[in-house]
Amino acid sequence: MAESCHCYYVPVAQIYIKSLDSPSTLRSYSPMDSSAPILLLLPWLLSVALTLPIEVIFPRATANETNPVFGDDVFGDILRANEGTNVLLRETDIAVPLGRNSISCKTCLWPKSTNGRVNVPYVFDEKYSEGEKSTIREAMKDFATMTCVEFVPKTAEPNYLSIHPGDGCWSFMGVLGGAQGVSLGGGCLGYRTIQHELTHALGFWHEQNRSDRNKYIDVFWQYISPDASINYQEMDTNNLGMEYDYVSAMHYENWMFSNTSGKITMAAKDDPSRRLGGAKELTNLDYSKINRLYECDVVSTLLNEERGTLKSANYPSPYPNNAKSYFLIRTGSQQVSLKFEAFDIQSSPQCSADYIKIYDGSTKSSPVLLEKSCGTGKHPPLIASGRALLLEFLSDGAQTATGFKALYETVECGGTYTTPLRNITSPNYPKDYPPSKVCLYLISAPPSYTISLRVVTMDIEKSRQCRRDYLEIYNGDSTSAPLLGRFCGSLMMCSPRSNGNSMLLRFVTNGDTQGKGFLLRYSWVAPRSVLP
């Protein structure tokens, strides 16, 4: 009895045909092989597509003797998750739409609304837990911060992403129409993997498949098996006039698909020792390309070193009109501290024209560290509660000023407090505080207000003149301000009060005995003219 087959034509350099009734039988055909019958067979295969059980398969990496480790980058995560998947994929994680050549997709962008935003609707599969949904949403938020693209819950839109815990990590490229699958299954819920698949859905190929990639990298075909060569094909891509991104979250690492132990499959022309790919999140160039492709009026900068400088465009010359800039500082594991060296922003009532606003986190939905600020003058240093801080800078079409320059660095602990009344605690309170720490806590009130501080509980290692562990209180926003006192043990003999609108606390611990730390409570004190 004749067996029935299914066949799908896909424009690739290497085609595999497998009988579903005999999955161990697998034969490869290449259009460059004169003995290959595939080109002659294609019309026949298409004519019997509904009667024969044949599946076209893209080659994919598996753990083997020459490449037993997938690696620790985003593609390692994807390869592990996709090993053995039955989904039709190319380049490890791009799903191939049947009946459409996605390679020639020229108009597969999500539409822009009249307000300049690009909303990409999505729905979650009910199989996801609330925690898993929250993880995906967090990875989505960076797009809204750094670009004009925002992933939004579906309402009545006909085209949307259907995000589900499917067979591995994969996405279609660009807009298909209707419900469009994005698979984020087991092993795919890492920050970088989620962002990677969503970037495919926005219309981006892998970086090493750019049409101009041979100007920047060498591909070592001798170390790539023929069945994996499709993953290194040059594509007819729109490169947007932008530079090649060697470390893009969309770039393969040097070792990908190597068939020889210890041999890499590609290297940068300018520096063969340069690591390719490996980014833990989308890079500045990744975001810039999204902004260029979707014509966003946003200038965004990601800063992820332990310390650095940020400044307005053209500084110290005047910044441009109608600017919309975002600086996202996101470090490894410690908190972020920011201090302005210069600040000159066009002044206006309630800072309704040009302004800087700072958030305690990576998005505009994070708590505010510094409300809209403009004019000139000194600003106290700011300490985020975590490893991320977002600075928003907007200018209108009127006059400008010289702008700003700020320095940032990581700190081990501490925070900035800008509410009228709040408690402050030492790390781990009420458990023992950690050894060998220096923590800075900045309390900032409006101009003309002062700050009053009192102790609720205190248990700091006691020593002569408080030389070991201690809490210092400064009458200002830095350690160069007058010292109001140094305290340890279990008592604070006074309730310190600042002369101005800021107070800095510095908590220092050594490597010896630890106590439970402190619980302090501060409050703003209004000037007499505004007292009820």
Known binding site: residues?
196, 200, 206
* Longest Cα separation, the chain: 99
Per-residue burial over 415-454, b if 16 or more Cβ lie within 10 Å, else e, is: bbbbeeeeebbbbebeebbbeebebbbbbbbeeebbbebe
Active site amino acids: 197
Q: How far apart are CA 125 and CA 405, in angstroms?
A: 45
The answer to whether the beta carbons of residues 474 and 481 sit under 8 Å apart is yes
Burial per residue of 70-101, b for 16 or more beta-carbon CB atoms within 10 angstroms, e otherwise: bbebbbbbbbbbbeebebbbbbbbbbbbeeee
> What residue numbers does the annotated binding site for Zn(2+) cover?
196, 200, 206
C-alpha Rg value of the chain to the nearest Å: 29
DSSP E strands: which ranges in 318-360?
A: 324-330, 335-345, 355-359
For residue 525, give the 3-state DSSP assignment.
strand
φ, ψ at 17 (rounded to 5°): -120, 130
Antiparallel, parallel or unpaired: β 54-57 and 22-29: unpaired
**Closest among 444, 341, 343, 357 to 393, alpha carbons compared:** 357
Structural tokens at position 374: 């403009």
Among 496, 424, 436, residue whose Cα is nearest residue 461: 436
Tokens read off for 61: 């990496």
